[in-house]
């Protein structure tokens, strides 16, 4: 039950992030074919492939950027709970999701400074 609640919290964080950040919001909801749910499911499928079936894990979105209606870059942390007495295993990834599908994933250091913002302002 605890894992389900962490996944729900992660999905809620994605929703809040997309509502709060104009860079992440998909400009026109009517135009968007990729939903928040699509992004959350894509992230969860990716994280599920990292760890053994039945393991206890959760993921958290640190930042995200969407420059087009069908493409989003997401900075996430993942945590795998190990046996009692062992510290959790943490990883950090940059994901490129296009049209609801994971196109690329890059493992980065936990302490890396990542700025998911546009390099050049749009004109």
What is the C-alpha to C-alpha distance for residues 34 and 45, in angstroms, rounded to an integer?
16
What is the C-alpha to C-alpha distance for residues 82 and 73, in angstroms, rounded to an integer?
29
As a whole number, mean pLDDT of residues 1-15 equals 47
Estimate the crossing angle of helix 2-20 against helix 36-50, to 10 degrees: 140
pTM of the model: 0.67
Q: What pLDDT is recorded for position 118?
A: 62
Q: 51-99: per-residue pLDDT in tens? A: 888 889 999 999 998 878 889 999 999 999 988 888 999 999 999 999 9
What is the percent of the chain where pLDDT is above 90?
43
Q: In this structure, are residues 96 and 103 in contact, taking their beta carbons and an 8 Å threshold? A: yes
pLDDT above 80 for 11? no
Q: 3: helix, coil or strand?
A: helix
Helices and strands counted in the chain (H then E): 2, 4
Q: What pLDDT is recorded for position 67?
A: 79
Mean pLDDT of the chain: 76
Higher pLDDT, 6 or 90: 90
Task: Enumerate the domain spans of the chain.
Answer: 2-108
As a whole number, mean pLDDT of residues 34-59 equals 90
């Amino acid at each position: 039950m605890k894992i389900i609640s962490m996944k729900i919290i992660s999905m809620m964080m994605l929703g809040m992030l997309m509502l709060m950040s104009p860079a992440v919001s998909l400009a026109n909801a009517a135009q968007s074919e990729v939903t928040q749910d699509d992004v959350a499911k894509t992230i969860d499928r990716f994280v599920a492939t990292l760890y053994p079936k039945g393991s206890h894990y959760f993921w958290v979105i640190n930042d995200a950027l969407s420059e087009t209606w069908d493409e989003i870059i997401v900075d996430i942390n993942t945590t795998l709970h190990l046996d009692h007495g062992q510290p959790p295993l943490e990883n950090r990834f940059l994901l490129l999701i296009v049209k609801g599908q994971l196109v690329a994933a890059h493992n980065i250091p936990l302490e890396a400074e990542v700025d998911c913002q546009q390099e050049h302002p749009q004109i």
